[in-house]
Homo-oligomer: A and B are copies of this chain.
Amino acid sequence: MNTSRTNDSDDPSGHGPSIGATALWGSSQGKRVHLLTPEERAELAVISSVVRFKKGTVLYREGDHANGVFNIVSGVVKSYRTLSDGNERIAAFLFPDDLIGLVEEGRYVNSAKAVTAVTGYKIPVAALETRLRRDPGLEFHVICKLCHELREAQRHAFLLGTRHATAKVAMFLQMLDAYQAARGDSTTEVYLPMSRSDIGEYIGISLEAVGRSLKALVSRGVIAFRNSRHVKIISRSLLEGMASEAGTRQLRPHDWGKD
């Protein structure tokens, strides 16, 4: 693991850890808000190390002794659990300004792997706890972030409860689209950093079903692919319709236009 202390010199990757979330009590119009003040970021930078991971690297495994929480600066991480039969189930995709490293009784609850190349901060738990107990403002910001993660986990569960593959895929695209919009990214195209297999393991269907559902969305004119990882949403209202279970029933062959 390639690490270096952040306080050694000027740090090219930013000015310390950064976390974002939609507002708790105020209104942020769906946008993400940067929770940490410059002072808090600097304070955390002192106790953190910068870390880099190549695509495919495991950050930690479920059950490992938890010695740190990670803050993602760039790249995508998946949090997952491995089943007895070797299959994986993905609990969450983590993006920049996210916190990762959920702990229970001193051990990581999930495993984590870099989906793309990743840079971030590793914050030691011991130092973090003392820092938290000393700074109620920082603590409150962490509470906001945890509420955000809880809402996302519930949204994920909501998605998984859907019974139709196409509706699941549509909701997944909506989530990525909303995430990119909340960050202020370009809204012309959705980027899929993860494989079909990852998507399937996240939304609870086989990777083949992911492909078929995407194809179904294409043939209905809801989306269009530039390549396998770049989708354009042609109609957000149509996508919304596909996501809401009702209009989900696959068209019977005779109902299709040509093709």
Contact = CB atoms under 8 A, between A and B. Distances in A.
Interface in A10-45: 22-28, 30
B158 A89 contact: yes
Centre residue among A110, A150, A163, A246 by max chain B CB count within 10 A: A150
Contact of A106 (B27, B109, B134, B149): B27
Q: Which 5 A-B pairs have the closest CB atoms?
A: A160-B160, A153-B153, A146-B146, A161-B204, A139-B139
A52 to B, nearest CB: 26
Interface residues of A, number: 54
A184 B121 CA distance: 39
A234 interface: no
A245 B85 contact: yes
Contacts of A204: 160-161, 163
A127 interface: no
A61 to B, nearest CB: 16
A135 B143 CA distance: 13
Interface stretch (A97-105, A175-183, A185-193): A97-105
Given A160-B160, A161-B160, A246-B84, A105 B28 contact: yes
Interface of A: 22-28, 30, 66, 81, 83-85, 87, 89, 91-92, 102-106, 109-110, 125, 129, 132-137, 139-140, 142-143, 146-147, 149-151, 153-154, 156-158, 160-161, 163, 201, 204, 244-246
A112 to B, nearest CB: 13
5 contacts: A24-B105, A27-B106, A132-B143, A133-B136, A160-B160
Contacts of A27: 105-106
A151 to B, nearest CB: 6
